[in-house]
């Protein structure tokens, strides 16, 4: 079977309307596209983001914080959104499968991702979460507090939190068993729940792991063949938002690494996606990584449209 890991962004699920109804509608549309992607020979894992959702939940927790109803820590908020979005996805996939008479089950698994306390992500917060704000709104929230807001890819200002890199995924073998039994598996939601090893125990820690790096680590551990990272654009671009902007199509690992050195990709936005794609392809020469949009998924399957990262390939730009 061809083993595929698809990483779906949290921003793709929450666009402008944060209600459960609106987010579930987007998840349903996503499930329809993923069901069309599925073949009898494919083993599929879906990793989803939760940046807007966990940020909104953290705000809700802070607003209602009291002795009787204390706010939950960030790692627990990650788990809560992993559960809610996982439920939406499994429910939507189940319905999409039944509509197509696909005899497959879907399941979501709570996923712990081990990180290191010495990771520089704890000293240099970079992961955007929560809603987009104007610069004035961000400045007002930072005043007199230790929270940090930064501009996010020209779309507004967002709160940033520690984002350590994943070391390993504790449930990877369980996920592999599910796949071997034909179960379409939702795992590593929100990048997984960050845990650190302390005195031979795993303990949760306040952070949000980038879902693309977690998807790559999971793909590596379960020996996937293809990593598909879904984002808001059909292609990765260099010289983004400039007159000489170029969209990458087929691109080699060495070319992407050069673009990373040039600072072509925004940290906390496109950079983790291209880093994850490069790392996955470097693990094994036959691996393939794709970065594209959900809307472009059919074109990807039909003729390879999107940004495709391979070991060695001539770059095509348009």
Set 10, 55, 86, 188: catalytic member: 10
Choice among 9, 11, 56, 296 that is catalytic: 11
Closest CA to 5 of 189, 216, 227, 300: 227
Which whole-number Å values give the CA distances from 84 to 17, 77, 112, in the listed order? 16, 11, 16
From the list 165, 211, 217, 288, the catalytic residue is 211
Distance CA 26, CA 31 (A): 9
Look up 211 and say whether it is catalytic: yes
Active site (annotated) includes residue 127: yes
Among residues 310, 306, 303, which one has the least CA distance to residue 318? 306
DSSP 239-270: STTSTT-EEB-EEEHHHHHHHHHTT-S-TTTH
- Of the residues 273, 287, 296, 306, which is catalytic? 273
Q: Is residue 10 among the annotated active site residues?
A: yes
Active-site option among 49, 55, 127, 159: 127
**Residue 115: left (phi > 0), alpha (psi -120 to 50), or beta?**
beta
Known active-site residue 24: no
Terminus-to-terminus CA distance in the chain, angstroms?
34
Residue 304, phi-psi category: left (phi > 0), alpha (psi -120 to 50), beta (remainder): left
143 classed as catalytic: no
Supply the residues annotated as catalytic. Answer: 10-11, 127, 211, 273
């Amino acid at each position: 079977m061809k083993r595929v890991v698809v990483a779906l962004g949290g921003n793709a699920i929450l666009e402008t309307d944060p209600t459960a109804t609106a987010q579930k509608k987007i998840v349903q549309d996503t499930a329809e596209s993923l069901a069309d992607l599925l073949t009898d020979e494919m083993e599929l894992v879906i990793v989803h983001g939760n940046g807007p959702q966990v940020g909104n939940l953290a705000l809700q927790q802070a607003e209602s914080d009291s002795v009787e109803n204390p706010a939950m820590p960030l790692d627990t908020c990650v788990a809560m959104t992993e559960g809610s979005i996982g439920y939406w996805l499994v429910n939507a996939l189940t319905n999409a499968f039944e509509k197509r008479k696909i005899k497959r089950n879907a399941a979501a698994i709570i996923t712990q991702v081990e990180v290191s306390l010495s990771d520089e992500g704890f000293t240099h917060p970079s992961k955007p979460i929560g809603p987009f704000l104007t610069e004035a709104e961000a400045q007002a929230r930072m005043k007199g507090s230790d929270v940090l807001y930064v501009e996010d890819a020209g779309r507004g200002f967002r709160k940033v939190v520690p984002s350590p890199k994943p070391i390993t995924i504790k449930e990877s073998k369980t996920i592999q068993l599910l796949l071997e039994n034909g179960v379409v598996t939702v795992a590593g939601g929100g990048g997984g729940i960050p845990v650190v090893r302390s005195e031979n125990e795993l303990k949760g820690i306040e952070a949000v792991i980038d879902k693309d790096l977690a998807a790559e680590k999971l793909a590596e551990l379960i020996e996937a063949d293809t990593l598909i990272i879904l984002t808001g654009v059909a292609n990765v671009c260099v010289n983004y938002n400039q007159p000489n902007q170029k969209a990458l199509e087929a691109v080699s690992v060495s070319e992407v690494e050069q673009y990373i050195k040039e600072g072509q990709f925004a940290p906390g936005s496109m950079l983790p996606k291209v880093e994850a794609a490069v790392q996955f392809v470097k693990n094994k020469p036959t691996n393939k990584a794709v970065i594209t949009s959900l809307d472009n998924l059919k074109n990807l399957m039909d003729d390879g449209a999107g940004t495709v990262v391979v070991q060695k390939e001539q770059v095509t730009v348009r």
